[in-house]
Amino acid sequence: MNTKETMHPDCEKILFSEETIQKRIEEVAAEVDKALPHDSVIAICVLNGAVMFFADLVRKLHHDIQFDFMSVSSYGDGTTSGALKIKKDISANVKGKDVLIVEDIIDSGRTLMLLKKLLEDRGAASVKIVTLLNKPSRREVDMYSDFNCFDVGNEFIIGYGLDYAQQYRSLPYIGILKREIYEK
């Protein structure tokens, strides 16, 4: 049996420990605090990957922030910006509101580009994005988050919300999955 105190056997390397993650989130929360208005901000957690990051980030903000949750995925043929599939929508009406999207990773950039546009089209007063991880080598569209905790290389990242086939999300650290696991 694995305990979470030791590195999971499927993990090649720990990139960011629990302590490193918490310290960095504290710094990013301070940036978000400075940049956002101090009332009626709605933070949207993009399920499932962002759950841990969202829970830690909002506790470090000084804003009394509203929460909402959304589950989306982007699809397309690779030549267009694609379309957004909404698997679970938010409950809040964002018209006239300042919105903070909280996402685990920006990869091709398609999901966040489409989600930001959707919220703007619904009349949000402003839409800012905070990401835990940025994988710039995989970018396919001109999209960046406003705040980001860590840049990562083109490796399979697991832990702290991020999965492979729905596994490893509950690891408290961020690591690289062994190649033999996803190539077998």
- Cβ atoms within 10 Å of 4's Cβ, excluding its own: 12
Active-site pick, 33, 64, 107, 163: 107
Among 11, 106, 133, 158, binds ligand PRP (CB under 6 A): 106
- Least distance to ligand PRP, CB of residue 42, Å: 18
Kindly state the smallest distance separating residue 103's Cβ from ligand PRP, in Å.
Answer: 6
Query: In angstroms, rounded to a whole number, what is the distance separating the alpha carbons of residues 163 and 4?
Result: 15
- List 7, 14, 48, 146, residue binding ligand PRP (CB under 6 A): 48
Place of tokens 């910006």: 81
Told to check if 163 binds ligand PRP by CB under 6 A, we report yes
Known catalytic membership, residue 151: no
State yes or no: residue 145 binds ligand PRP (CB under 6 A): no
The answer to whether 130 and 148 are in contact (CB under 8 A) is yes
Note whether 148 binds ligand PRP by CB under 6 A.
no
Shortest reach from residue 70's CB to ligand PRP, in Å: 10
57-77 burial by CB neighbour count: b if 16+ within 10 A, else e? bbeebebebeeebbebebeee
